Amino acid sequence: MEFTTQHFIALAPLLITSATIIVVMLAIAWRRNHSQTFLISVAGLNLALLSILPALKVAPLAVTPLLQIDTFACLYMALILVATLACVTLAHAYLGDGGSGYPGNREELYLLILMAAAGGLVLVSAQHLAGLFIGLELLSVPVYGLVAYAFFNKRSLEAGIKYMVLSAAGSAFLLFGMALLYADSGSLSFVGIGQALAATGLPSSLAQLGLGMMLIGLAFKLSLVPFHLWTPDVYEGAPAPVAAFLATASKVAVFAVMVRLFQISPAASSGVLSDVLTIIAIASILFGNLLALTQSNLKRLLGYSSIAHFGYLLIALVASKGLAVEAIGVYLVTYVITSLGAFGVITLMSSPYNGRDADALYEYRGLFWRRPYLTAVLTVMMLSLAGIPLTAGFIGKFYIIATGVESQQWWLVGALVLGSAIGVFYYLRVMVTLFLIEPNLRRHDAQLHWEQRAGGVMLLAIAALAFFLGLYPQPLLVLVQQAGLSG
């Protein structure tokens, strides 16, 4: 095939991210400098983000048989790049400078995050099973290193090994499922599979088995029940900025490709598979929320709550018509904003690095009297995760309920309402802890280094955005409507 200028414009976000990876590698080889590596990474990610605008002008465009750049891909590329930018900023604050910071090499963290982000960009624009697998592996492999990056912390190493072993198992299921699907449909492209399945009416038992195994592989990455067992341990063991990346950019990329796969071949989500997705959704919502109730560790609590949130998202995937794609877009944007804010507070509480992250709930007792700004941000994030009106989370949840009602999935809507009610309890428990008065406590705000200040400013901006979208969601709704799969 011939490459034209249009192809390069469409691929610009991925090409710029890849070029940034090479520049960072060369910069590290030339001279180790934490701030320089950080600035190169931020500059590259910002350029990649800006290059989405010209890419939109040439979309939709099938760049190769593997990749399709359309408005849907551009929206999720932007979301992944914004989440990665936020995580890189938090990582800079977390690793610190000088003697009080991280004792090992800091620069490689940025390299690994950028490589994982490039994998996410490939994943959201995949229109072929080979593209899906390449993107997924490019996303997953650097994350193994990221999770175990605090190598002197036993929990971090344990989390890295756990994630690697279970992720490998998930990839094996995914490959086996792809092989079965190819054997049945004779095609590896999403469209070809969709046409082959549609031609026979209901998918054959072989195709259903293949799709089921692929679903297991993707459910591992999204930590849906019953494939969720790694999540709380990995979230707890991973350094805070890495946990933020895992909860946002990584999961958004996998869910976006899942939406594309199920939307392009509607037959894929009919029959037995639809029932299986319904059961997984209800189980994820109930288990995620109930297990979060008992947690006294903030990272584990957020890990279990993310299981429940992706259970909510499955409701729109099961509905798969009407408002579904729009609802998924709105929910993922609000979820990413909120998760970045929550993990950002843990990051700034945990740095400069001192052995383990400040993630135990008792460490947040009376935080309002020590760090009022961080308390304000975490309070807004907890309200948004609970789906309280006037926050971004409410808009996302409202859309999911509307989708469930529209497609008359009453069991799923019931599970969502019940799960949300349980969720309000443990989110409020975290909020109450922040405002408890400690005896003999004088009010003061801790002195911050400049890199932590940059992280703090970003967190305040995230909190303001969560409020703004709760009050005036119109710009977000317009953006998501334009990014439909018809792109």
Q: What is the pLDDT of residue 448?
A: 55
Mean pLDDT over residues 288-299, rounded? 91
pLDDT higher than threshold 50 for residue 99: no
Q: What is the pLDDT of residue 194?
A: 83
Q: What is the pLDDT of residue 163?
A: 92
Q: How far apart are the first and last CA of the chain?
A: 23
User: How is 261-328 classified by DSSP, letter by letter?
Assistant: HHHH-GGGGSTHHHHHHHHHHHHHHHHHHHHHHT--BHHHHHHHHHHHHHHHHHHHHHH-STTHHHHH
Mean pLDDT over residues 290-314, rounded? 92
Of 349 and 59, more confident: 349
SS (H, E, C) 335-348: HHHHHHHHHHHHHH
Query: What percentage of the chain reaches a pLDDT higher than 70?
Result: 91
User: How is 119-188 classified by DSSP, letter by letter?
Assistant: HHHHHHTB-BHHHHHHHHHHHHHHHHHHHT-STTSHHHHHHHHHHHHHHHHHHHHHHHHHHHHHHHHS--
Q: What is the pLDDT of residue 455?
A: 81
CA distances (Å), origin 122, targets 74, 128, 180, 265, 453: 11, 11, 23, 20, 33
Structure tokens at 238: 């991973």
pLDDT higher than threshold 80 for residue 102: no
SS3 content of the chain, % helix, strand, coil (to 5): 75, 0, 20
Q: Give the span between the Cα atoms of 12 and 54, in whole angstroms.
A: 9
User: For residue 225, which of 270, 268, 279, 171 has the smallest C-alpha distance?
Assistant: 279
pLDDT higher than threshold 90 for residue 355: no
Model confidence band, residue 487 (pLDDT cutoffs 50, 70, 90): very low
pLDDT higher than threshold 90 for residue 242: yes
Model confidence band, residue 351 (pLDDT cutoffs 50, 70, 90): low
Mean pLDDT over residues 92-98, rounded? 76
- Lowest-confidence pick of 64-73, 79-88, 249-258: 64-73
Q: What is the pLDDT of residue 58?
A: 83
Q: What is the pLDDT of residue 438?
A: 66
Computed over every residue of the chain, the mean pLDDT equals: 87
pLDDT tens for 76-86 read: 999 999 999 99
pLDDT higher than threshold 80 for residue 321: no
- Lowest-confidence pick of 195-209, 223-237, 379-393: 195-209
pLDDT higher than threshold 60 for residue 269: no
Q: What is the pLDDT of residue 290?
A: 94
Mean pLDDT over residues 38-54, rounded? 93
Q: How many residues in total does the chain contain?
A: 487
pLDDT higher than threshold 90 for residue 367: no
Q: What is the pLDDT of residue 24?
A: 94
Q: What is the pLDDT of residue 57?
A: 86
**Angle in degrees, 0-180, between the axes of helices 71-95 and 34-50, rounded to the nearest 10:** 160
Q: What is the pLDDT of residue 357?
A: 77
3-class state of residue 404 by DSSP: helix
pLDDT higher than threshold 70 for residue 1: no
Which of the listed ranges 205-209, 383-387, 439-443 does the model predict with the highest average pLDDT?
383-387
Model confidence band, residue 96 (pLDDT cutoffs 50, 70, 90): confident
Mean pLDDT over residues 194-198, rounded? 82
Q: Give the span between the Cα atoms of 288 and 310, in whole angstroms.
A: 10
3-class state of residue 208 by DSSP: helix
33: left (phi over 0), alpha (psi -120 to 50) or beta: beta
- Please identify which residue in the block is written with the tokens 């900025």: 241
Q: What is the pLDDT of residue 197?
A: 80
Which residues touch 50 (CB under 8 Å, ≥6 apart)? none
CB 403 within 8 A of CB 324: yes
pLDDT tens for 416-468 read: 999 999 999 999 999 998 888 766 555 444 455 555 677 888 899 999 999 99
